[in-house]
């Protein structure tokens, strides 16, 4: 595990150096699905760096990454990589974006790191050993009154085929009079729940590389993460609700429109 942790942190920090080097600089910007779903040459360069570092030590491991897709190997280990989570922010010079890397073993997340080089914040978690921010242990908030919660969410580029339009859920929560922020990086959203800056986060249609590392960080910081039915969460699912645990059931009721 120590070797894997070292590789994970090395890959995360090296990709972060690339992001910081190009931030507010000149780089090529392309488009994926939809005019606002951006990809930059920096995404690709950071991803290449991450994959190269992982492959140098663990050539037989499976890699699932946002830009290259799935590089299948017959392995129990899966690396889930987002070289820049928050590419739109990065492309517009907004310093809320990050490298996100999670490692799964037989379907369980065992390591996760999220690094925002512009803010010099490194979140890290190892299964069963807690979560840290720049090496200092973190924990979720202790707020239990949903009416005073500070929340964060995001909206997908393509609306999901879900039971209810996401805007309807957003409207219900806003009508409760709650402050809701929209940062543009699900990985950072999750980490900020983990360290108590936010009390809860929900979003539709995320990909596994968006949430893998943040999911483990929330869990190890004492939070709770489920789907919108309150069932055990899987990073390959499309409904994500993460909270400090104390307001979780209250958020589920609002999302499910239950009195």
Q: Are residues 114 and 173 in the same domain?
A: no
In whole angstroms, how far apart are CA 231 and each of 44, 80, 224, 240, 241?
Answer: 35, 22, 11, 10, 10
What is the pLDDT at residue 203? 95
What is the pLDDT at residue 220? 98
Domain-ending residue, one of 105, 137, 169: 137
- Is residue 211 helix, strand or coil? helix
Residues of the domain holding 152: 146-255
Q: Are residues 185 and 153 in the same domain?
A: yes
Residue 68 pLDDT > 80, yes or no? no
pLDDT one-digit tens code per residue, 155-193? 877 665 666 778 888 999 999 899 999 999 999 999 999
Lowest mean pLDDT among 18-27, 119-128, 222-231: 18-27
Domain-ending residue, one of 86, 120, 137: 137
What is the pLDDT at residue 168? 87
Which one-letter DSSP state was computed for residue 142? -
Do the Cβ atoms of 242 and 225 come closer than 8 Å?
Answer: yes
Nearest residue to 166 via CA among 61, 78, 255, 100? 255
Do the Cβ atoms of 74 and 164 come closer than 8 Å?
Answer: no
């Amino acid at each position: 595990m120590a070797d894997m942790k070292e590789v994970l942190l090395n890959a995360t920090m090296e990709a972060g150096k690339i992001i910081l080097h190009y931030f507010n600089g000149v780089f090529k910007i392309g488009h994926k699905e939809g005019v606002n779903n951006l990809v930059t040459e920096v995404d690709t360069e950071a991803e290449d760096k991450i994959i190269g570092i992982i492959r140098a030590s663990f050539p037989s491991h499976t890699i699932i990454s946002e830009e290259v897709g799935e590089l299948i190997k017959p392995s129990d280990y899966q690396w889930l990589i987002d070289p820049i989570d928050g590419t739109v922010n990065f492309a517009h010079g907004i310093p809320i974006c990050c490298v996100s890397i999670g490692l799964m073993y037989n379907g369980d997340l065992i390591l996760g790191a999220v690094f925002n080089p512009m803010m010099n914040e490194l979140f890290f978690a190892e299964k069963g050993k807690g979560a840290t921010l720049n090496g200092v242990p973190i924990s979720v908030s202790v707020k239990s009154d949903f009416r005073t919660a500070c929340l964060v969410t995001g909206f997908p580029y393509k609306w999901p085929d879900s039971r209810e339009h996401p805007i309807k859920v957003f409207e219900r929560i806003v009508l409760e009079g709650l402050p809701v922020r929209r940062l543009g990086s699900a990985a950072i959203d999750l980490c900020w729940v983990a360290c108590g800056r936010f009390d809860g986060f929900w979003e539709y249609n995320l990909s596994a590389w968006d949430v893998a590392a943040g999911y483990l960080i929330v869990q190890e910081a004492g939070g709770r993460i489920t789907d919108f039915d309150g069932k055990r969460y899987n990073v390959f699912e499309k409904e994500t609700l993460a909270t400090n645990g104390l307001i979780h059931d209250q958020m589920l009721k609002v999302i499910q429109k239950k009195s």
